[in-house]
Amino acid sequence: MSNPSYVIGLDLGTTRVKAILINEDGQIMASDDADYPLHRPTNDAAEQNPEDWWKSTCKVINTTVEKSGADVEDIVGLGIAGQMHSAVFLNDKLKPIRPAVTWADNRTGPEAQEIEDKFGTEKLLDITYNLSLPGFTASKVLWLKHHEPKHFEQLVKLVLPKDYLRYRLTDELLAEKAGASATLLFNLAEEDWSDDLLQVVGLTRKHVPPLVEPLALAGEITENAANKTGLVPGTPVVAGAGDQQAGALGIGAVKPGIVVSTIGTGGQIFTTTPRLIKPHQGRTHVFRGCLQDSWHVMGAMQTAGLALRWFKESILDQYTTNELSYDEISRLADNAPAGSNNLLFLPYLAGERSPHMDPHARGCFIGLTLNHELPHILRSIMEGVTFGMKDSLELFQNLNLPIQEIRCSGGGANSPVWKQIQADIYQQRVVKTNIQENSAFGAAVMAAVGSGLFPSVSDQSMDKLIKVTEETLPKAENIEPYKKFHNRFQKLYRVLKPEFEALSENRQ
């Protein structure tokens, strides 16, 4: 009887790295995670030290293997998912020149606009299928060139966080097509780097790694990495994908009709399509998926769960003696009625991506009265985030993308009231699956296919691994009130947009 075989999936997120180990039947045998800081040297900055990623990754791999009881000799592959858009700048020794500039960094607004002005909106959409935004990688390169020219002169390679982590594990510097498609330096139809866009930010092909398919083998664990992680030298490493692309695979969204609503630090709502679709005026994102002939149409919010965390940590925890858990916050929010007693929250605490693509947008509570209490405020935050996600869902409907089921994930999926709010506002059946860490699970599935443990990825094979465990149906009495609140939510943004611009420019 042969020994069992295992693979490891890593998810290098914005604030933590997660590792899971699965067996040949797709069962999760063990997991571990570790946090690392997100540094904010100025209000708009959001940076990280790549060495923190490496140390945390080594820790969680060691601990996960130890928890599982698996023999490291039986681990046949490792796959990596990672935060999208963030930029790691490497010198001629392939060492980071400075801290990584993450997707959440908003200093690059002028550079994003400069790229769009130089290239032209229509041409940009024709090549990248996306508008130029501060969160994308391209604007971060131009920011480095403008604000830190000495660092820019040292730049030899530009990589994404996941690709840097894979380099530390294998000594191979590669990029995969799914993650690269979200840099704004990629020709989506040709599935290759765009020479024209590289030139706009001052780079050439020499500055970016060669491209491979997400499921391709991209190296092996080196002796040095083996000493740090506890893995066996020579263990295959699969290229992997961005966290949302891997998450789509890990939650079973590999066919049209399944929409994924992720409320984590940011918010993402996306679906998979077998054909490349031009986005509606660039108000949604279109990226390459993990699988060939697979594309993601995605709406993304800057602050989703982060909006609730901001209120909890910066206001409640700072000025109250009894710290509330998120379960307690969820129960309090459930005590407020749908519509939060006519209180609306605009969740644009760090600008906004879909559908407004507006770095100047600001957060606000509208409608506060003496009758409002903490439960109303907490629920209004959840509703405001969900209204923002609904904006993107409406764009999917305008693109005639099928919507048969919404699968929820992220921290918002752990709150019964937030799941009900989603079902009521989306006017759709919302389900939860047996997979909690879908990005790490997707990375593990990619490792299993790339290493030959699984024969392929198909609808049927994913249906065997991923099961619906809960469903939340819309409450009929909430649908019409929420429609009216959502219309008002959309109107408030339009009315306040000029004031947001004035506030961001410190105009009187």
- At 327-340, the pLDDT tens digits run 999 999 999 999 99
Mean pLDDT of 14-18: 93
- pLDDT (0 to 100) of residue 507: 44
* 171 and 278 fall within a common domain: no
In the residue annotation, 243 being an active-site residue is answered as: yes
Least confident among 226-235, 281-290, 453-462: 453-462
Note the pLDDT tens digit of each residue in 396-407.
998 889 999 999
How far apart are alpha carbons 170 and 220 in whole angstroms? 5
Helix (H) or strand (E) holding 433: strand 430-433
* 143 and 249 fall within a common domain: no
Q: What is the percent of the chain where pLDDT is above 70?
A: 98
In a domain, 397, yes or no: no
Fill in the amino acid letter for 409.
S
Whether the bond between 355 and the residue before it is cis, its omega within 30 degrees of 0, is: yes
Which DSSP state fits 210? P
β-pairing, 403-409 vs 257-263, is parallel
Better pLDDT: 317 or 145:
145
In a domain, 419, yes or no: yes
pLDDT-based confidence at 106, cuts 50/70/90?
confident
Secondary structure string (H, E, C) spanning 182-244: CCCCEECCCCEECHHHHHHCCCCHHHCCCEECCCCEEEECCHHHHHHHCCCCCCEEECCEEHH
Which distant-in-sequence residues (6+ apart) come within 8 Å of 391 by Cβ? 299, 354, 355, 490
Which distant-in-sequence residues (6+ apart) come within 8 Å of 172 by Cβ? 166, 218, 219
- pLDDT (0 to 100) of residue 505: 73
Provide the token pair at 296: 């993601």
Residue 459 has pLDDT above 90, yes or no: no
Residue 2 has pLDDT above 60, yes or no: yes
What is the total count of domains within the chain?
A: 3
Last residue of a domain, one of 221, 243, 265: 243
* 466 and 491 fall within a common domain: no
Residue 20 has pLDDT above 80, yes or no: yes
Residue 127's domain comprises 6-243
Neighbours of 64 (CB within 10 A): 25
Last residue of a domain, one of 227, 243, 259: 243
Which DSSP state fits 475? P
Tell me, what CATH number does 42's domain have?
A: 3.30.420.40
* 387 and 406 fall within a common domain: no
The helix, strand and coil proportions of the chain, stated in percent and rounded to the nearest 5, come to 40, 20, 35
pLDDT-based confidence at 506, cuts 50/70/90?
low
Q: Provide the sign of the torsion angle of the four alpha carbons 331, 337, 342, 345, taken in this order.
A: positive
388 phi, psi to nearest 5 deg: -65, -40
Give the residue ranges of DSSP H helices in 45-182.
50-68, 109-119, 121-128, 137-147, 149-154, 161-170, 177-180
* 37 and 90 fall within a common domain: yes
How far apart are alpha carbons 449 and 11 in whole angstroms? 17
* 370 and 267 fall within a common domain: no
Provide the token pair at 169: 């594990």
pLDDT-based confidence at 508, cuts 50/70/90?
very low
Q: What is the percent of the chain where pLDDT is above 90?
A: 78
How far apart are alpha carbons 488 and 384 in whole angstroms? 11
* 350 and 422 fall within a common domain: no
- pLDDT (0 to 100) of residue 436: 84
* 138 and 266 fall within a common domain: no
How far apart are alpha carbons 295 and 272 in whole angstroms? 6
Q: At what angle do helices 109-119 and 137-147 cross, to 10 degrees?
A: 110
* 260 and 348 fall within a common domain: no
Which DSSP state fits 315? I
pLDDT-based confidence at 496, cuts 50/70/90?
very high
Neighbours of 258 (CB within 10 A): 21
* 426 and 482 fall within a common domain: no
Neighbours of 315 (CB within 10 A): 11
Residue 176 has pLDDT above 90, yes or no: yes
* 388 and 411 fall within a common domain: no
* 465 and 493 fall within a common domain: no
- pLDDT (0 to 100) of residue 323: 86
In a domain, 482, yes or no: yes
- pLDDT (0 to 100) of residue 44: 84
Mean pLDDT of 417-443: 95
- pLDDT (0 to 100) of residue 61: 98
Which DSSP state fits 2? P
β-pairing, 16-23 vs 6-12, is antiparallel
**With contact defined as beta carbons under 8 Å apart, do 164 and 79 qualify?**
no
Which of 243, 358, 391, 424 is the catalytic position? Answer: 243
In a domain, 1, yes or no: no
Note the pLDDT tens digit of each residue in 357-380.
888 899 999 999 999 999 999 999
